[in-house]
Amino acid sequence: MRDFGAIQSPQNAYLINLGLESLHLRMAQHSKNGLALAQHLAAHPKIAWVRYPGLPGDDQYELAQKYLPNGASGVVSVRRGRRARR
């Protein structure tokens, strides 16, 4: 911010710092919620597929275990529809 000449107001700086202090707690819960949602949707009969790197059986599961040991965030991709019969 200094290089561009922008200066934060004291209130904005305080709020950003306040948010950063609890970020590790919020992200841990965010990842737990993402995993719980992915597990629930994977078992739902009206969902064709779920993509979530923290979900066992996902293409990226091994990489997520290696590079994201504290959780794979809350981003879940879902496709509605009938499951393909195997």
pTM of the model: 0.75
Tell me how far apart the alpha carbons of residues 5 and 83 are, in angstroms, rounded to a whole number: 55
CA-wise closest residue to 32 among 85, 80, 72, 3: 72
Q: 3 pLDDT exceeds 80? A: no
> Can you spell out the DSSP letters for 8-49?
--HHHHHHHHHHHHTHHHHHHHHHHHHHHHHHHHHT-TTEEE
Q: What is the pLDDT of residues 6-45, one digit of tens each?
A: 788 899 889 989 999 999 899 999 999 999 999 999 999 9
The whole-number average pLDDT for the span 60-66 is: 94
Per-residue confidence (pLDDT) for residue 35, from 0 to 100: 95
